[in-house]
Structures are given as structure tokens and as C-alpha cells.
Amino acid sequence: MSTPRELATGRYVALGRLRWLRGVIDQLGLLPVLLIGLLLFFSIASPNFFTRTNLSTILTQALFLIIVSVAQTLVLLTGGFDLSMGSSIALVSIVVGLQLLDHPDAPLTGLVIATLAAIAVATGIGALNGLFVSVFRVPPFIVTLAMMTAVSGLALKVSRGVPVFGLPGYFSGTLYTGKVLGIPVPWFVMVLVLLVMYLLLHWTRFGRYWYAIGSNAEAARLSGIAVRFYLFLAYAIAGVLVGVTGLLLTARVGSGEPTLGASFPLESIAAAVLGGVSIRGGEGNIFGAALGAVFLVMLRNGMDIIGISTYTQLIITGALLVAAVIIDNWVHRER
Amino acid sequence: MAELLRAIEVSKRFPGVLALDRVSFELRAGEVHALVGENGAGKSTLVNIFAGSLHPDGGTIELEGRPVQIRSPHHAQELGIRAVFQHLSLVPALSVAENIFLGRELTTPGLLRKPAMQARSVAQLGLFDAGISPTAKVRDLTVPQRYLVEIAKATLERPKVLILDEPTASLTDRETRVLYDLVRELRGQGVGVIWITHRLEELYEIADRVTVMRDGRHVATLSVHETTTDRLITLMTGREYEQIYPVLQPVPESAAVVLAVRGLTTAHGLRGVHLRLRAGEILGVGGLIGSGKGFLGRALVGLEPITAGEIELFGERIPLDRISPHTLLERGLMYFPADRRHEGLFTNRPVLENMTIAALEQFQRAGGILDKRRERRILTEYIRRLAIVPPNPDARVRNLSGGNQQKVALARGMIRTTRVFVLDEPTQGIDVGAKIAVYELLHELARQGAAVLFITSDMLELLHVCHRVAVMFQGELVAIMRHEEVSEERLLQYYFGHTREEVGRTGVDAA
């Protein structure tokens, strides 16, 4: 009488044997394995790789990409993506630079205004993206491509194509080399971002709804979820994170740059996909994406050290991205 | 009649499960041989071996008396075996004629003979009398029309063996008729047809013999005329017919009306539908496909644009412009769509998230943080109560069987303490065992005072599972009758619009 049930259970147990392997890949991608492999390879290939200085350089470089990748993951989870993050960072950088020039001698006022401006600009851009995607139902690719173009133009127009130099010293002194609780400020912010986003995605309704929308928007609507609102919110919150990145990055380079962050949109998508975030939405998590970002930066750093030319590096990175998508397909294929 | 295709003691093992256990099966030229059994019985595995998609681990296949190894779907086609599965192999962007001739285009050296192909397509489609233009793009066709094109494609060069996997599942009544005619014609020409179905009524229309499978084994092969539906169900499930439908508990006299629909009219589909649903009541809604019964469920939650009418839930009239899945859910009504995979479930997410998605408010602590431990505890209880297999809250829903998926969908409504369940074809495509579980669940819900609107194409469900039965015809609700008044003959009369009755007289207020 219960034979069909036994059969079904039998099938499930059988899958169980392969499940742990697929489960690991499902959660993090092949990344932990690849990352260790990469570490070993470069450590053997060059004595200059596995040093305290170099590893700290890698992590400092990776930090900005990590935050953007987390933002990108949020949007990817809902089944979209955001190409405008790079030009958004550029505009933030210019606006922050111009604001700071008005407050050369008032560190507190300058920092508060710069921070608010950065977040306002990038959140505004994210919110506009969200509005077009959710209310007007324009495909994310089109919306964010158009936004990327327009915002990039705006950044160049506002700055007249030249960087904003002469930022007050307190800016980088606080937001790049400054420390909170003994930790450099950018690090502190990154950890905070990871923590808050983890809570939001895995311990609140918001996260459940985003995953649900990315998995099946129609089913989400029938489950009573205000799909359009949550879609909008995802793009807007991603905007907040992009604003934070723009601010920190400007502090790092020490000037307002009209082309800052241009490589971030594609690199963040690559990092997320490498980290097991599905480009179809509804699958993956921010830690995978963060690890993906570390992987990409480490790969570039290691190739630099062993003397692979920049052009060859691009080819290798491109090939790796395709490989990552193939792996993504393999893990997520329907049985 | 000659043995056209034989499987002799064929076995097929998947990791951890014996999908086919020394199954023998024979198909004669010029017969329609039905293949029935619950999901997981091995029907699909068997026909996939015939179609070349799977290779047996043991046993022999013989075609016209000679042993063959069917290497691939392509090889199967060369041997004259064609299969039409639920998942269609049409290219949406190409025309009907282009699809039918895909891969075997007629050419004068190098150039396509489009008029000739279109003419052949017309002849081919003429069989179906379905009004499909050969130059229409497949993406513009309805699902039943696409299915017919798929069959036209499969039968373009008359095959020896035609395998149809649940052919009527996506067809309306009219197209089912033309399909029957086509299959009879092919049978007359000596084609052997394997017809997989869940609808036993069909057998008497079309099949000559029927083979029952269960748990990967051949149970029986019978002449259709020597058997009865009861016997087949017993063979398929190992249960007696009476054990399938639970005993109907009466609705208490005092039960209040929870849902009142008056004059509901939509842009297309519904015309002036009246109905009232009481707490603890299961109201079945039947009718042919195209009768509008599917629109009724969708319209109730605002998925179809409503042009006129009133919806009153628990005595509160809901303004037409506020009707949405969200507002009705907040007031205790949940709609469960027929297309579970595409509209109902988050198939790549775990069972847990699927079940609690509509009830997360209940699991929130201060500051909006979810109490995941409590969520998991309550959920595990539901999984046990509903006997969901595997009993694992972290299993991805896509790995569950259709029946278990349906239980997950229903549980979403139960966890949210839904008072009105609107179900569209909840038992479609699930096996008898799972159907029984769904019936028991619905009765349990009704006993606890929930109201159930049960839209179904299965007449037996209307006869046995519902307190009252409504019939839709051409967008109107043409009759409502009490359980004791329902009979197959009466239902059929209303289905085809032969009789009309003042709806109010036998039903709305009486039950």
C-alpha cells in the first residue's frame, strides 16, 4: 500500500549520496576549492605572493568589489541585474568631491554632507532603476544599460571630464586610513555591510520575498507579496551600497574621478556568478559573491606577480566567467 | 494481429531505484494500447526506452519480430517509432509548416518548396479540422493547437508506432474529439498506438487493450471491454474504489455564508456569475474546458479584469478596484492556480520557504527578525501531518513528486489560517494515492470550518468529493445542485448546455 511512497523515498535516499557534493556547490559554488587551488598555485609560482603585505593588498583591493558584488547579488536574486553601478560610483565620486571642496576646513560638516550626498545620489539612481523595472516593467538589462549611459554622461558633464582634485586631507584620513575599534574604516564598513545584508536576506521577510520573487514572480504575487514594492526596494538598497562604495573609493583615490568604477558592473556580476548566485534569480548568497570577488582580485594580483600581461589576463578572466556559467548550468539544471 | 513492438523482460535501474523490473509489453499493429498506472509506476521509463531516450539495463526489444537496440531518439524515428510528449518540441518563432517539416524540408535543389510544404501541412492539419493556418507562427497558437501541430509533425511520414504521453491533458473537448478520429484512422492504417493516460474514462472511447503498471512492474494486460474502471483503479493502486473518496460530512445548518459572488463578469470568460459559499462547505465547479470555470478562480483574486459584479467576503464587500491576490489573502481567501510549477511554487527554493512564504508575519519577532526555530518546528509538524515525502524541510520543491508539490502548495494556505480556499484543478497530473491525500485534506479543512471552492475537470470528484456542484457553460454558471442530486448524466447535460435551470431554484439558498 505504501509502495509508491517507499519508491519516492528510495529515490530521495539515492540522491542523498550525491547530495552533499551538489549541496556544497549549491551553497558556495566550486569556489572554496578553486580559491585554495589558486592560493597554492601562486604561492609555488612566486615567493612574493604569499606574504603578509601582498595578502593584505589583495584584501584591501577586494573590499570595494565585495561591497558592489553584495549589492549586485541582491538585484540578481530578484531575477534582474544592474549595469549602472559603475557610472553611479563615478557620479557619486564627482558629487562628493565637489561637496568637499566647499568645506575644506570643517571635517565634521564635510564628512556628513559628503556621506549624505553619496548615499542620496546612488540611492536615487537605484530607486529610478527600481521604478522602471517594477512599475513600468522595462527589462532590467535595458533600464540599467540606459541608466549606465545617462549617468556616465552626467558625471562627465558635471565634472567637465576632469577629476576633482584638491580634496581636503581629512577626507582620506578618515574614510581610508582612519580606524574604528582598531579596524581601518573601509574594512569596518565592509563587515557591517555583510552583516546587515546577511540579516536582511536570511533573517527577515524581505530576504524571503526577494528570493521568492526571483524564483517565481507569479507565485510570489499569488502568495500575497507586493512584488513591485519589493523589486523597487531591492534596486534602491543596492543603490545605498553603491553610494557607500563610491564614497570609500573616492577617499581611497583622493580625488573625484568621473570614470571611477567603470569595471565594477561586469566584475560584480562575474564575482556573484562565480560565487554560486544564479543569473536566473532566486539562488545564491552574499558570502559566495564576496568570495567570488576575492577570487577575481586574487587572480589578477597573482597574474601580475608572475608576470602575465594585462591583455592575457583579460582573456583568462573572460574564459573563467564562461566556465563559471557552465558550472552554474550544471548545478542548477532541472532533473 | 502481428506483434509490432515487444519489450521482453526489460529492466531499467536509476541510482537507488528499479524503475522497470523485468517488464514485458507487446503492441500489435493496428491497435491502441493504453498504458496506465500511478506516477512512478514506470510508464514514462518504458516509453522513453521505446523512443530511444533511455537505454534498458536488461531485456530485449523487438520490432516486427527482430531484436533491435534503439540507440537514440533519432534512431527511433528512423525505425518508425514516433513519440509525442507533454513537453513539445516546436520552435515558437517558426510557422506551423516550417515546424512540421523541420529537418526534412522539401527542396528543389537547394531551395525550399514552401508552397508544397504549406499544402502538405494543410492536408495534415485538415485531419484535425482545427482551423490552424500553416503560415501562422507557433507562438501565436493556443496550447491545444500546438499539441495538434506536434502530432501532425509526428505523423507526417506515417510511423509504425506512435507513442502519445497523456495526449488529452492539454486538449479541450473539441480537440480531443479530432484527436480520437485521427488515432482511429491511424489504427485503421495499421499503426500501433501507445496511449498513456491518467483519465480512465478515455480508455472506453479509444483503447483496445490496456496494460496496468505499478512500482515498475507489469501488473496486467486486459482487453478494455473485459474490465471496469473500479477494477483498473484497484490494480493501479492496490486499493478498492470505495476507499478512495472519503465520507462526506454534512455542512452544519448554522454555517454562515463566507463568500458571496453576485453578477461577476469579466472582460472575457465570465458572464454574470452568482454563487454563495458557506463555512465548512466544499463547492465543486465543473464544466468543459473553455466553459469559464478556470476564469472563475482567477477572477476572484483579480487576475482577470472584472467589469461588473460584487464580491463579498465575510460580509464585507470588496471594492472592485481593490481586488488583488494580496487584499484577498489579507481577508482570508487564497487562490491555488492550476499551473503549480509556473504560478504556484518556488521550485528552486526549499519546502520550508514555499510553505511559510505567505505567513511570515506570524514568525516575526521584535525588529522584524524571523524566529526560524519556531518556523521550523511548526513546519515540521505540517510536513508530518501531510505526510510529505521526503519529510525534509530543506528539500528543493522541484525534487518532489507532483502530489507532494500540491501538498506543499496547500500547506501554504493552512499555515496562514486561510478561511476560503479557491483551488483550480488541484489533482491534475498527480497520482491516485496523492489525490486521496488531497481529498482527505480538503475534507479535514472543511470539518474545521474552512470553505472550499473546488474547480475540477474530473467528474468523479464532483460526484464524490463535493457538498454541492456548480456547472459552468459558456461563461455562465448554469446550475447548482446538492450532492444527492448530482449524477453523471445530469452533469453532462449541463456541460453541453442542453438544459438550463434557474440557478436559484436548486442550489444557492437550499444547500
pLDDT in tens, B383-414: 998 888 888 999 989 888 888 898 999 999 88
**How long is chain B?**
511
Does B41 share its domain with B139?
A: yes
CB pairs under 8 A between A and B: 121
Determine the Cα angle at B58 with ends B54 and B60, to 5°.
85
- Phi and psi at B92, nearest 5°, equal -60, -35
Mean pLDDT of A147-162: 95
pLDDT band, very low/low/confident/very high, at B121 (cuts 50, 70, 90): confident
Rounded-to-integer distance, Cα B124 and Cα B117, Å: 10
- Residue-wise pLDDT tens digits, B284-307: 999 877 788 989 999 999 999 999
CA nearest to B410 within chain A: A223
Q: What is the 3-state secondary structure (H, E, C) of B147-184?
A: HHHHHHHHCCCCCCEEEEECHHHHCCHHHHHHHHHHHH
Distance CA B462, CA B425 (A): 12
In a domain, B248, yes or no: no
- B392 with B427, same domain: the answer is no
- pLDDT at residue number B128: 60
Domain co-membership, B78 together with B200: yes
pLDDT of residue A296: 93
Q: Where is average pLDDT lowest: A15-19, A250-254, A328-332?
A: A15-19
Beta strands B273-278 and B209-214 are unpaired
Q: Per mean pLDDT, which of A112-126, B93-107, B124-138, B296-310 is the most reliable?
A: A112-126
Decide if B398 and A334 are in contact by the 8 Å CB cutoff.
Answer: yes
Best residue of A2, A6, A7 to probe chain B, by most B CBs closer than 10 Å? A7
Residue B338 lies in a domain: no
Considering only CB atoms, A4 lies closest to which of B40, B330, B390, namely B40
pLDDT band of residue B70 (cuts 50, 70, 90) is very high
Residue A219 with chain B: CB contacts under 8 Å: 343-346
For residue B487, the SS3 value is coil
Q: Does residue A8 belong to the interface with chain B, where contact is any CB pair within 8 Å?
A: yes
Give the model confidence (pLDDT) of A211-230 as tens digits: 999 999 999 999 999 999 99
Read off the pLDDT band of A317 (50, 70, 90): confident
B383/chain A closest Cα distance in angstroms: 14
Any idea which of A3-7, A78-82, B289-293, B356-360 has the lowest mean pLDDT? A3-7
Q: Which residues pair with A248 in a beta bridge?
A: none
Hey, of A15, A27, A222, which one would you mutate to test binding to chain B, going by the most B CBs within 10 A of its CB? A222
% of chain A at pLDDT higher than 90: 75
Q: Which pLDDT band, with edges at 50, 70 and 90, does A190 fall under? A: very high
Across the range B81-97, mean pLDDT stands at 86
**Grid cell digits, residue B151:** 502530432
Cross-chain Cβ contact B346/A205 below 8 Å: no
Question: How close B321 comes to chain A (CA, Å)?
Answer: 16
**What SS3 class is residue B379?**
helix
Containing structural domain, residue B498 = 257-332+419-508
Beta bridge partners of B42: none
CB atoms B343 and A216 under 8 Å: yes
* Strand residues in chain A grouped as ranges (E): 179-180, 183-184
| Closest in B330, B349, B392 to A224, CB measured | B330
> Do A204 and B370 count as a contact with CB atoms less than 8 A apart?
yes
Give domain status of residue B308, yes or no.
yes
Does residue A10 carry a pLDDT above 90? no
Judgement on whether residues B203 and B113 belong to the same structural domain of the protein? yes
- What is the helix (H) or strand (E) element at residue B406, kind and residue range? helix B402-415
Lowest average pLDDT, out of A59-73, B132-146, B259-273, goes to B132-146
Mean pLDDT to the nearest integer, A292-314: 93
- pLDDT reported for residue A335: 38
Verify that B444 and B500 share a domain, yes or no.
yes
pLDDT in tens, A46-71: 999 999 999 999 999 999 999 999 99
Judgement on whether residues B20 and B145 belong to the same structural domain of the protein: yes
Whether residue B384 is found in the same domain as residue B261? no
Domain membership of residue B250 (yes or no) is no
pLDDT for position B105:
84
Give the mean pLDDT of A301-315.
92
Nearest to B389 among A8, A282, A283 (CB): A8
* Total domains in the fold of chain B: 3
Pair (B152, B47) in one structural domain = yes
pLDDT confidence bin for A24, thresholds 50/70/90: low
| Cβ density class A82-121: b for 16+ within 10 Å, e for less | bbbbbbbbbbbbbbbbbbbeebeeeeeebbebbbebbbeb
Contacts of A18 in chain B (CB under 8 A): 15
Does the pLDDT at position A8 exceed 50?
A: no
User: Mean pLDDT across chain A, nearest whole number?
Assistant: 88
Q: Does the model's ipTM exceed the 0.90 cut?
A: no
- Say what the pTM is: 0.76
Are B208 and B68 within one domain? Answer: yes
Cβ pair B404:A204 closer than 8 A: no
Percent of chain B at pLDDT exceeding 70 = 95
What's the pLDDT band for B507 if we cut at 50, 70, 90? Answer: very low
Chain B residue at shortest CA distance from A5? B389
The answer to whether residue B316 scores a pLDDT higher than 90 is yes
To test the contact with chain B by mutation, choose from A26, A27, A223 the residue with the greatest count of B C-beta atoms within 10 A, namely A223
3-state secondary structure of A126: helix
**B399/A15 CB distance under 8 A:** yes
pLDDT at residue B373 in the model: 92
pLDDT at residue A4 tops 50: no
Of all residues in chain B, the percent with pLDDT exceeding 90 is: 46
Boundary-marking domain end, from B393, B411, B429: B411
For residue B34, give the CATH number of its domain.
Answer: 3.40.50.300
Torsion of CA B72, B77, B79, B84, to 10 degrees: 100
Q: Which of B216, B344, B399 sits opposite A222 (nearest CB)?
A: B344
Overall average pLDDT of the B190-202 stretch? 88
DSSP output for A311-333: HHHHHHHHHHHHHHHHHHHHHH-
B337 in a structural domain: no
CA distance A27 to A276: 7
Q: Give contacts of B330 with chain A, Cβ < 8 Å.
A: 224
Q: Cα separation of B390 and B350, whole Å?
A: 12
If one compares B378 and B141, the residue with the highest pLDDT of the two is B378
The minimum CA-CA distance between B390 and chain A, rounded to whole Å, is: 6
A335 part of contact set with chain B, CB < 8 Å: yes
- Tell me the pLDDT band of B250, cut-offs 50, 70 and 90: confident
pLDDT band at B439 (very low <50, low <70, confident <90, very high): very high
Q: Same structural domain for residues B428 and B390?
A: no
Q: Where is mean pLDDT largest: A101-115, A229-243, B136-150, B354-368?
A: A229-243
DSSP, collapsed to helix, strand or coil, labels residue B28 as strand
Give A84 or B142, the one with higher predicted confidence. A84
Residue B400 counted as domain residue: yes
Confidence of residue A146 (pLDDT cuts 50, 70, 90): very high
To the nearest whole number, what is the mean pLDDT of chain B?
A: 87
Q: Please compute the mean of the pLDDT values over residues B271-276 and round it to a whole number.
A: 94
Which range has the top average pLDDT, A329-333, B137-141, B310-314? B310-314
pLDDT at position A69 is 97
Examine the domain organization and report whether B189 and B318 are in the same domain: no
Q: What per-residue confidence (pLDDT) applies to A11?
A: 39
- pLDDT digit string, tens, across residues A266-288: 999 999 988 889 888 998 899 99
Most A CBs within 10 Å: which of B360, B371, B406, as the mutation test of the A interface? Answer: B360
Give the lowest-confidence range in A24-28, A189-193, A239-243: A24-28
Query: Is the Cβ of A3 closer than 8 Å to some Cβ of chain B?
Result: yes
Map out the domains of chain A as residue ranges.
64-262
Answer whether A20 touches B (CB < 8 Å).
no
Query: B389 vs A5: CB contact, 8 Å cut-off?
Result: yes
Query: What's the rounded mean pLDDT across residues A315-320?
Result: 86
CB contact under 8 A, A211 and B349: yes
Tell me if chain B has a CB within 8 Å of the CB of A4: yes
User: Is residue B505 pLDDT above 50, yes or no?
Assistant: no
Rounded to an integer, the average pLDDT of B225-231 is 84
- In this structure, what C-alpha cell is assigned to residue A77? 536574486
- What pLDDT score does B503 carry? 46
- Residue B504 backbone dihedrals phi, psi, to 5 degrees: -65, -30
**Mean pLDDT score, A137-160:** 95
The confidence score (pLDDT) of residue A209 equals 96
